[in-house]
């Protein structure tokens, strides 16, 4: 467990009920908690039963409204360390003092689904970080996709209404594959770029630990001389950015709706702390207009090849929450929670968010005192003249609760910038009051095409398949056609394949996509980091395995950071030919190949027909999902029976040493897309 200022603060609120006597909320010990107070053993319950009333009333009020978006989330504590001072750009304390370890709380989420929905749905993921700095809380409330569907916050309610389950029948849950979402897209073409991301592998991440995070908007950094730079924030996962395949994602939704939280929880419990580096892209004020897009437009990214990402620090998530409701559910993020040295740009999406987040907390957390909840409290003191409201905890002493005053010597008093007081960047603004989209925001397709151009063949295949799936679920043929016509602007071939798949009219001969040939290799997951570290292997094995070989192979894999989980037909212990023992973690009934990154087939002699059938099914499915598969000893036969032995990413060997090395490399490669599979 980390030991930082936030943890110390939370300590004061932690309560361990174990081993204690049961009391009411008034502290009264109770002698009975199973039976309500009745008039006679078979008589009616009495109103005077204060214990029953208190217990039931509290229960009746246990739920709070779920978040209107990002309802399904999971969070962890950690800390942020800075590599070198960024005083050139900002006066923010936590970005200039390298000796500080800033406590953080990070919540990951899906966007569309309700609180109990599955985690491996096709969706953007929220990536919200609360930095508990000495200058107050700074919230970086981002997503795992660097652009957004819309350019102006006033459209957000429309977008969300279109995306959420349709109101007449509340279907489908946590999915964009339905008429209203695609109708919105076709009629709000600024969505093109983000839709490309949402149809890509980015929208089905393998793990919260293997996702990038993006602040999306352009923000400002302001240094102590008052100079400002435009900035975009990135989180780069140390394990690289990786995804599952769509068929696997859907099966995971059924087999383990908690797949992502389980992965994060287990990693932290096992001491495999997820790490992300903070990256900054910086543009000088004078270069604001030097790009072929408007840097205020949230549907645009800054290609990393043009504006490099500087890695400035590292965040480590090292502690699971004690209580999901108290922490994860009650945490209140807000892009407007800033510290000196960080400021906003005029991005109209960001500007609207600055209103929405406090507003939503007022209803969700039931009043204006949510900042007093333990998870939301800053680690520095806070003082002002705000008073009262539902659930107020602070006992403000004294007579004075107004400014300006003489009775308390005009305190609490504003702090000058030198004393750490926040000053808004003095940007010059002038113009007519208009409700308009800026001319500079009107190109919706160039970056959508840049993204497409940057994809590998496998990634392009996945995008085409995702579009075909989503539109295949749309009932209205006019909506389908509008989407085909719209994405002809991005790529004619994509639109042609899509039209073919969904029975729409393909683009006409004269139709052409936008003329953009540039690509940005950083956008492809083929160019991410690869490692076998924390990858899971389902080891299918039975009694009488070759003890010496297996222990050699497993030792090697474990040294590479691979996690082995043993699968057999029954739980309990298995015996090797040398008397060694191995514990079975799962049976064929309690697990499924989709739950593992790879399969290692060992088998054993004289297996039942059912064992052979189940093992082959596991292997076949893992193969279809392009996963690495290893086989030694009796396990080789299963691959041969299915004619899989000569495929990419399938490692078979009689030499334990060579096998272990080659298999570890195959695991690190994540997926083997060159496999000959007809999707
Ligand atoms: Fe949010 N968003 N959002 N959003 N958002 C919320 O706040 C909103 C947007 C994001 O883990 C809500 O506390 C508007 C972009 C995350 O608790 C709400 C607009 C990005 C989370 C809200 C946007 C985000 C939220 C719902 C358009 C990526 C989860 C509950 C202007 C940069 C935070 C809540 C958590 C949550 C409003 C667009 C990310 C209603 C009006 C762009 C990660 O206030």
- What is the 131 CA–ligand 1 centroid distance (Å)? 17
Q: What pLDDT is attached to residue 677? A: 77
- The pick from 333, 344, 361, 376 for probing ligand 1's pocket by mutation, whose C-beta has the most ligand atoms within 8 angstroms, reads 333
With a CB cutoff of 8 Å and minimum separation 6, the contacts of 396 are 387
Identify the DSSP state of 37.
-
Residues 612-621: contacts with CB under 8 Å, at least 24 apart: 612/638, 614/569, 614/588, 615/540, 615/588, 616/641, 616/642, 617/593, 618/538, 618/540, 618/567, 618/588, 618/592, 618/593, 619/540, 619/593, 619/644, 620/644, 621/592, 621/593, 621/594
Distance of CA 90 to the CA centre of its chain: 27
- What is the 332 CA–ligand 1 centroid distance (Å)? 11
Confidence of residue 314 (pLDDT cuts 50, 70, 90): very high
What mean pLDDT do residues 338-351 have?
98
| Structural tokens at position 641 | 């029976």
Identify the DSSP state of 500.
H
Residues of the chain with pLDDT > 70: what percent? 99
- What is the 655 CA–ligand 1 centroid distance (Å)? 53
Confidence of residue 74 (pLDDT cuts 50, 70, 90): very high
Identify the DSSP state of 494.
H
What mean pLDDT do residues 358-367 have?
97
CATH architecture for residues 530-668 = 3-Layer(aba) Sandwich (3.40)
Of ligand 1's listed atoms, the one at least distance from the Cα of 349 is 31
Q: Does position 2 have pLDDT exceeding 80, yes or no?
A: no
Confidence of residue 676 (pLDDT cuts 50, 70, 90): confident
Query: What is the number of H-type helices and E-type strands within the chain?
Result: 16, 18
Q: Does position 370 have pLDDT exceeding 80, yes or no?
A: yes
C-alpha distances in Å from residue 390, one per residue of 63, 371, 394: 17, 12, 12
Question: Which protein residues are within 6 Å of ligand 1, measured from CB?
Answer: 67-70, 73, 107, 109, 126, 128, 141-143, 148, 153, 156, 216, 331, 333, 349, 352-353, 356-357, 360
pTM for the model: 0.97
Strands 586-587 and 563-568: parallel
Q: Does position 679 have pLDDT exceeding 60, yes or no?
A: no
What mean pLDDT do residues 286-315 have?
98
Cα–Cα distance, 161 to 167 (Å, whole number): 8
With a CB cutoff of 8 Å and minimum separation 6, the contacts of 125 are 108, 109, 110, 111, 143, 144, 145, 205, 208, 211
pLDDT tens digits, one per residue of 222-244:
999 999 999 999 999 999 999 99
pLDDT tens digits, one per residue of 517-570:
999 999 999 999 999 999 999 999 999 999 999 999 999 999 999 999 999 999
Closest listed residue to residue 283, CA positions, set 308, 312, 311: 308
Which residue has its alpha carbon closest to ligand 1 atom 23?
Answer: 353
- What is the 152 CA–ligand 1 centroid distance (Å)? 13
Residues of the chain with pLDDT > 90: what percent? 99
Looking at CATH, the fold of the domain delimited by 65-148+206-372 is given as Catalase HpII,  Chain A, domain 1 (2.40.180)
What mean pLDDT do residues 131-157 have?
98
Looking at CATH, the fold of the domain delimited by 446-526 is given as Hemocyanin, N-terminal domain (1.20.1370)
Mean pLDDT (the chain) is 97
Which residue has its alpha carbon closest to ligand 1 atom 7?
Answer: 357
Per-domain boundaries in the chain: 65-148+206-372, 446-526, 530-668
Confidence of residue 678 (pLDDT cuts 50, 70, 90): low
- The pick from 64, 66, 67 for probing ligand 1's pocket by mutation, whose C-beta has the most ligand atoms within 8 angstroms, reads 67
What mean pLDDT do residues 467-496 have?
98
Task: Please compute Rg for the chain using Cα positions.
Answer: 28
Cα–Cα distance, 605 to 96 (Å, whole number): 63
Active site positions, annotated: 70, 143
What mean pLDDT do residues 193-206 have?
98
């Amino acid at each position: 467990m980390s030991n930082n200022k936030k943890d110390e603060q939370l300590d004061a609120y932690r309560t361990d009920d174990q081993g204690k006597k049961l009391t009411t909320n008034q502290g009264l010990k109770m002698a009975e908690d199973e039976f309500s107070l009745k008039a006679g053993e078979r008589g009616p319950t009495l109103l005077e039963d204060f214990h029953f009333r208190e217990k039931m009333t509290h229960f009746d009020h246990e739920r709070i409204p779920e978040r209107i978006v990002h309802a399904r989330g999971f969070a962890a504590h950690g800390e942020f360390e800075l590599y070198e001072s960024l005083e050139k750009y900002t006066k923010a304390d936590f970005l200039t003092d390298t000796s500080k370890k800033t406590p953080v709380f990070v919540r990951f989420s899906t966007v569309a689904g309700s609180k109990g929905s599955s985690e491996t749905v096709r969706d953007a993921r929220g990536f919200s970080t609360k930095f508990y700095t000495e200058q107050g809380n700074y919230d970086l409330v981002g997503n795992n996709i660097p652009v957004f569907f819309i350019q102006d916050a006033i459209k957000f309610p429309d977008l969300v209404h279109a995306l959420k389950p349709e109101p007449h029948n509340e279907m489908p849950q946590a999915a964009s594959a339905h008429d209203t979402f695609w109708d919105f897209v076709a009629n709000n073409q600024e969505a093109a770029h983000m839709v490309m991301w949402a149809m890509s592998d980015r929208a089905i991440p393998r793990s919260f630990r293997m996702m990038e995070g993006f602040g999306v908007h352009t923000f400002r950094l302001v240094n102590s001389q008052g100079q400002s730079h435009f900035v975009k924030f990135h989180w780069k996962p140390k394990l690289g950015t990786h995804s599952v395949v769509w068929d696997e994602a859907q099966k995971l939704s059924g087999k383990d709706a908690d797949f992502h939280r389980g992965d994060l929880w287990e990693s932290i419990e096992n001491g495999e702390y997820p790490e992300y580096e903070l990256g900054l892209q910086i543009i000088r004020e004078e270069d604001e207009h030097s790009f072929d897009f408007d840097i205020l437009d949230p549907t645009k990214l800054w290609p990393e090849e043009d504006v490099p990402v500087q890695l400035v620090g590292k965040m480590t998530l090292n502690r699971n929450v004690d209580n999901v409701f108290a922490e994860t559910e009650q945490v209140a993020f807000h892009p407007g929670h800033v510290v000196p040295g960080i400021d906003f740009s005029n991005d109209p999406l960001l500007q609207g968010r600055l209103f929405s987040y406090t507003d939503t907390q007022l209803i969700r957390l039931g009043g204006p005192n949510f900042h007093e909840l333990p998870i939301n409290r800053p680690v520095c003191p806070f003082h002002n003249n705000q008073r009262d409201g539902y659930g107020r905890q602070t006992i403000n002493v004294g007579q004075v609760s107004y400014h300006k005053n003489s009775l308390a010597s005009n305190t609490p008093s504003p702090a000058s910038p030198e004393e750490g007081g926040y000053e808004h960047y003095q940007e010059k603004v002038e113009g007519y009051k208009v409700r308009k989209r800026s001319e500079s925001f009107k190109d919706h397709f160039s970056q959508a095409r840049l993204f497409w151009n940057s994809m590998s063949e496998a990634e392009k295949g996945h995008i085409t398949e995702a579009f075909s799936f989503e539109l295949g679920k749309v009932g209205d043929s006019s909506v389908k056609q509008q989407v085909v016509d719209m994405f002809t602007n991005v790529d004619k071939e994509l639109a042609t394949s899509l039209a073919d798949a969904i029975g729409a009219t393909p683009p006409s001969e004269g139709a052409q996509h936008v003329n953009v040939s540039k690509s940005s290799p950083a956008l492809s997951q083929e160019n991410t980091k690869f490692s076998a570290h924390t990858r899971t292997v389902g080891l299918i094995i039975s009694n009488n395995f070759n003890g010496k070989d297996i222990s050699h192979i497993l030792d090697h894999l474990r040294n590479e950071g691979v996690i082995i989980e043993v699968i057999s037909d029954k739980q309990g212990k298995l015996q090797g030919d040398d008397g060694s023992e191995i514990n079975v973690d799962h049976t064929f009934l309690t697990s499924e190949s989709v739950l593992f990154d790879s399969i290692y087939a060992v088998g054993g002699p004289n297996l039942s027909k059912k064992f052979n059938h189940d093992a082959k099914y596991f292997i076949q499915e893992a193969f279809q999902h392009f996963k690495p598969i290893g086989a030694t000893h009796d396990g080789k036969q299963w691959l041969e029976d299915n004619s899989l032995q000569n495929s990419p990413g399938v490692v078979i060997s009689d030499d334990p040493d060579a096998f272990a090395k080659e298999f570890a490399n195959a695991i690190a490669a994540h997926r083997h897309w060159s496999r000959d599979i007809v999707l």
